[in-house]
Amino acid sequence: MSEITPAAETAAPHRYTADLAADIEGRWQDFWQAHGTYEAPNPSGDLDGDPETAARPKKFIMDMFPYPSGAGLHVGHPLGYIATDVYARHQRMTGHNVLHTLGFDAFGLPAEQYAVQTGTHPRVTTEANIVTMTAQLRRLGLGHDKRRSFATIDPGYYRWTQWIFLRIFNSWYDEEAARARPITELVEQYEGGVRTTPDGRAWAELTVAERAGVLDGHRLAYVAQSPVNWCPGLGTVLANEEVTADGRSERGNFPVFKANLRQWMMRITAYADRLLDDLDLLDWPEAIKQQQRNWIGRSEGARVDFPVAGADRPITVFTTRQDTLFGATYMVLAPEHDLVDAIVPDAWPEGTHQVWTGGHATPAEAVAAYRKFAASKSDVERQADAKEKTGVFTGAFAVNPVSGENVPVFIADYVLMGYGTGAIMAVPAHDVRDFAFARAFELPMRCVVAPTDGRGTDPAQWDDAFASYDATLVNSVGSGVSLDGLGVTDAKAVITAWLADRGIGEGTVNYRLRDWLFSRQRYWGEPFPVVYDEDGVVHALPDSMLPVALPEVDDYSPRTFDPDDADTSPEPPLSRNEDWVTVELDLGDGVRTYRRETNTMPNWAGSCWYELRYLDPHNSERLVDPAIEQYWMGPREGQPAGGVDLYVGGAEHAVLHLLYARFWHKVLHDLGHVSSVEPFHRLFNQGMIQAFVYRDARGIAVPAVEVEERDGGWFYQDQPVSRVLGKMGKSLKNAVTPDEICAEYGADTLRLYEMAMGPLDVSRPWDTRAVVGQYRLLQRLWRNVVDEATGAVTVSEAEPDETTLRALHKAIDGVTGDMAGLRFNTAIAKITELNNHLTKTGGPVPRAIAEPLVLLIAPLAPHIAEELWSRLGHTASLVHEPFPVADPALAQDEAVVCVVQIKGKVRARLEVPPTISDTELEAQALADPAVVAALGGAAVRKVIVRAPKLVNIVV
């Protein structure tokens, strides 16, 4: 229809074509840049000076910032950036001060791997990538405040990342006050004797190293020797969050082993409850909240001690069902539990059941063999709900503290060392896994919670455990306590008190969350701002020595190993630079020699606080000016924790980045550096743009652009290929770049297409052939304002007709709601409808319609809108022009159809105004000739009216 033939071009030299779009877009991008159109004001600067600006509400809008990869952007990447830009533009037009910018998350593994592959220093490749990406993003016309952009690798930025690290290092968590406090206040408590040292000696009597040891036990960042995830294939240790459920590295998919290493940890566990509770204050997708809750994994239960004959300490279990204590008929320790060796006797007790021994001659042999077997499985395999339960008897018995019975102690791999206490009391009648195990090992079961499903109380007759919470206790009397007849909750309270009275148990809360492993053996990361003295004591560097610059070195490659060789250990690349590692410093007690920390921070560090730096990017005195932070992020009505107003990004960051950033933010809040309690008030996860992947007979992806579709199949170089929907990317040879689409249609078309593809949170397949649809919308819009032959503006000054006016106000009304609700696809549908109406009506479009139409589409297609706005005679940019406001009377449907039923049968349809009252509608219905005829004089018993849509007459 609007194919551009050379003939058509001569006939219509002012048609909206890709060339015209490129011209318009380039000019307006230059204009915006030259005029600082998107620069957000700050208090104590522009805001204080201008009462009108100061009076406006604020909106801080953010994207999860990109990682500047060597491959550049494909059309999937900017989906979220376009969406936030549309939203931000609408917010500007509805009178908000908008802060929207974009930086780069530029440290981390991929940049380093890319650098190693290409043999170029990561700084060089990363900076080049940033230049490419910046140009690609500029082409899209994103309204970012460019003054506020930065990369996490800028020394001016990571100086503050290191500064925050030092605050975290120099603080401790005061459980009583439930907040972080400076470590100096803990020292005061020890000095003043308010708090006793672990071994009871006076603080003054402790050596420097001993004091350091005590404080390290409290610091929120600390070095510890602990079992960590070691990934030889990557040559670095990893956080739990970076290890997949099947025990491999999320990046690279290499095996991960547990190794006991000295590493930096962050005490995120101190914040477990607050991280959990404050989720309730956030406007986030429920699924993400749930993932965080699960990751934190708070379980309320109890610890219970079971004495073991011959052992010097009891087995302590963690249970969430202490009410079932009378039903604990055996126990299980994790195979790695350190009590195992202490309780294993020399020989099997008399009469030990054959299945319990696994056929081994002694308990020690059985335990050793079983440990070997269990070590070969990952935690996930061990926990998999396989009916097949394995384990072996240790030869030892413990005493159930309430029933007084001897219960056998097993080791089994379904109990994990890393959870609770690594030991359980097994209640086979009421726990599914224990039931399966007890069946396999012919262990006794006792019913202590009366089944409510009629199965009776003899577990020998059951097919599975009765695991309900909603039932009453039975068979639970003894040792001066009775739980019989109590509900689960009451029984828990009674037994917990009984245990506490005897000092053999207490109510506790257990978390799945572990402290965050914070060091990596990489070059391309933030150096730690600490040094070690000759005794290995850590010293924080003073703020005046920040930033600790990452040295420019030639050899930045990580030392990697055979991915399957667990007997290797990490080697930080920075350790190869002796000149840098050894330093002479005066830290207050004269010049001494120190060694630098050679690990670097994980790539999550830079993204833990970047929202704060956007607020005040050039501040060299402070992390962020408090007044500025308060203005853009402070708590306010409807946002009790404060934070960014809208944060858009992929759902894959559910626990990693979002949990870490929340933790850092809370520490900064506790220490008084920020007024907000949470970094991100509203979170929105955009869907993914998918693309078809074509594979040849060998399963190898072939270039998607070269695939031909014919006879209902797909062919590449005349060979049939298969087609599936997958991710878009270079490796699958199906990437489409925004540059290509911009060249062919312009950025406004690309923006519209991406927003029109479907609801923002849903994944959608890319279809280059469909892009032209949005191009045509813009061509028609253009034609409704500009004469294609002469370039003259064609709008008339005449009053619009009623129908057109109503169509406009309906569109305004709908688009306004859609913009606020991020429903850009439906907003585009409404704009298209209005525009089509104008095209169909023909004749010059009245200015009173054309201008609001241009404003309506401006957030979505800002370049063409600016161009038309200026051609319509306006001298200022429309970026801050008020968004059109719908007249409710005109926005409503002129008439709605009311159905009149008699005895359930539709007898008439009335056209009525949507605002009609019940009484009036009833009168109209009863007077309608069709209704009168249908009633045929019958007496009306009752009229049910649901204005404006339904009248039901009962006769």
Residues near ligand ANZ, by CB under 6 A: 299, 318-321, 324, 334, 415-416, 419-420, 422, 424-425, 427, 430-431, 467, 510
Measured from the CB atom, the residue of 12 and 425 that comes closer to ligand ANZ is: 425
Per DSSP, the residues of 913-925 read: -TT--HHHHHHHH
C-alpha 925/C-alpha 951 separation (Å) is 7
State the CB neighbour count (10 A cutoff) for residue 310: 10
Residue labelled with tokens 């290493």: 261
Measured from the CB atom, the residue of 87 and 498 that comes closer to ligand ANZ is: 498
For residue 432, the minimal CB distance to ligand ANZ (Å) is: 8
For residue 430, the minimal CB distance to ligand ANZ (Å) is: 3
Task: Give yes or no for a contact between 857 and 812, defined as CB atoms under 8 angstroms apart.
Answer: no
Measured from the CB atom, the residue of 335 and 570 that comes closer to ligand ANZ is: 335
For residue 315, the minimal CB distance to ligand ANZ (Å) is: 12
Integer CA distances (angstroms), 102 to 60, 84, 95, 137, 624, in order: 12, 11, 22, 10, 17
Residues whose CB falls within 8 Å of the CB of residue 26, separated by 6 or more in sequence, listed in order? none
Task: Give yes or no for a contact between 585 and 578, defined as CB atoms under 8 angstroms apart.
Answer: no
Per DSSP, the residues of 556-616 read: -------TT--S-----GGGG-HHHHEEEEESSSSEEEEEE---B--TTGGGGSHHHHHHS
For residue 321, the minimal CB distance to ligand ANZ (Å) is: 3
Q: Report residue 131 as tokens.
A: 């230049």
For residue 69, the minimal CB distance to ligand ANZ (Å) is: 38
Measured from the CB atom, the residue of 318 and 370 that comes closer to ligand ANZ is: 318
Measured from the CB atom, the residue of 135 and 469 that comes closer to ligand ANZ is: 469
Per DSSP, the residues of 36-60 read: TTTPPP-TTTHHHH-HHHHHS-EEE
Measured from the CB atom, the residue of 381 and 894 that comes closer to ligand ANZ is: 381
SS3 93: helix
Task: Give yes or no for a contact between 16 and 8, defined as CB atoms under 8 angstroms apart.
Answer: no
Burial of residue 132 (CB within 10 Å: 0-12, 13-18, 19+) is: middle
Task: Give yes or no for a contact between 226 and 260, defined as CB atoms under 8 angstroms apart.
Answer: yes
Measured from the CB atom, the residue of 419 and 604 that comes closer to ligand ANZ is: 419
C-alpha 343/C-alpha 345 separation (Å) is 6
C-alpha 425/C-alpha 413 separation (Å) is 14
C-alpha 658/C-alpha 619 separation (Å) is 25
Measured from the CB atom, the residue of 457 and 619 that comes closer to ligand ANZ is: 457
C-alpha 680/C-alpha 646 separation (Å) is 7
Measured from the CB atom, the residue of 155 and 418 that comes closer to ligand ANZ is: 418
Measured from the CB atom, the residue of 424 and 668 that comes closer to ligand ANZ is: 424
Measured from the CB atom, the residue of 424 and 834 that comes closer to ligand ANZ is: 424
Measured from the CB atom, the residue of 293 and 723 that comes closer to ligand ANZ is: 293
Question: Which candidate, 221, 161, 242, 66, places its Cα nearest to that of 526?
Answer: 161
Task: Give yes or no for a contact between 347 and 361, defined as CB atoms under 8 angstroms apart.
Answer: no
For residue 330, the minimal CB distance to ligand ANZ (Å) is: 11
User: What is the DSSP code (8-state) at residue 242?
Assistant: G
Per DSSP, the residues of 725-748 read: EEE-STTTT----HHHHHHHH-HH
Q: Report residue 727 as tokens.
A: 């991710």
Q: Report residue 367 as tokens.
A: 């335990």
Measured from the CB atom, the residue of 509 and 792 that comes closer to ligand ANZ is: 509
Measured from the CB atom, the residue of 432 and 950 that comes closer to ligand ANZ is: 432
Measured from the CB atom, the residue of 395 and 428 that comes closer to ligand ANZ is: 428
Q: Report residue 168 as tokens.
A: 């975290």
Dihedral over alpha carbons 343, 345, 350, 355 (to 10 degrees): 70
Integer CA distances (angstroms), 57 to 11, 85, 450, 902, in order: 49, 18, 59, 53
CA 290, distance to chain mean position in Å, is: 11
For residue 275, the minimal CB distance to ligand ANZ (Å) is: 17
For residue 510, the minimal CB distance to ligand ANZ (Å) is: 6
Measured from the CB atom, the residue of 99 and 331 that comes closer to ligand ANZ is: 331
Task: Give yes or no for a contact between 14 and 787, defined as CB atoms under 8 angstroms apart.
Answer: yes
Residues whose CB falls within 8 Å of the CB of residue 660, separated by 6 or more in sequence, listed in order? 268, 516, 604, 607, 608
SS3 906: strand
State the CB neighbour count (10 A cutoff) for residue 460: 8
For residue 399, the minimal CB distance to ligand ANZ (Å) is: 16
Measured from the CB atom, the residue of 467 and 943 that comes closer to ligand ANZ is: 467
For residue 266, the minimal CB distance to ligand ANZ (Å) is: 23
Q: Counting runs of H as helices and runs of E as strands, what totals does the chain give?
A: 32, 33
C-alpha 148/C-alpha 411 separation (Å) is 58
Measured from the CB atom, the residue of 488 and 878 that comes closer to ligand ANZ is: 488
Dihedral over alpha carbons 548, 552, 554, 557 (to 10 degrees): 40
User: Across the strands, what pairs with 393?
Assistant: 410
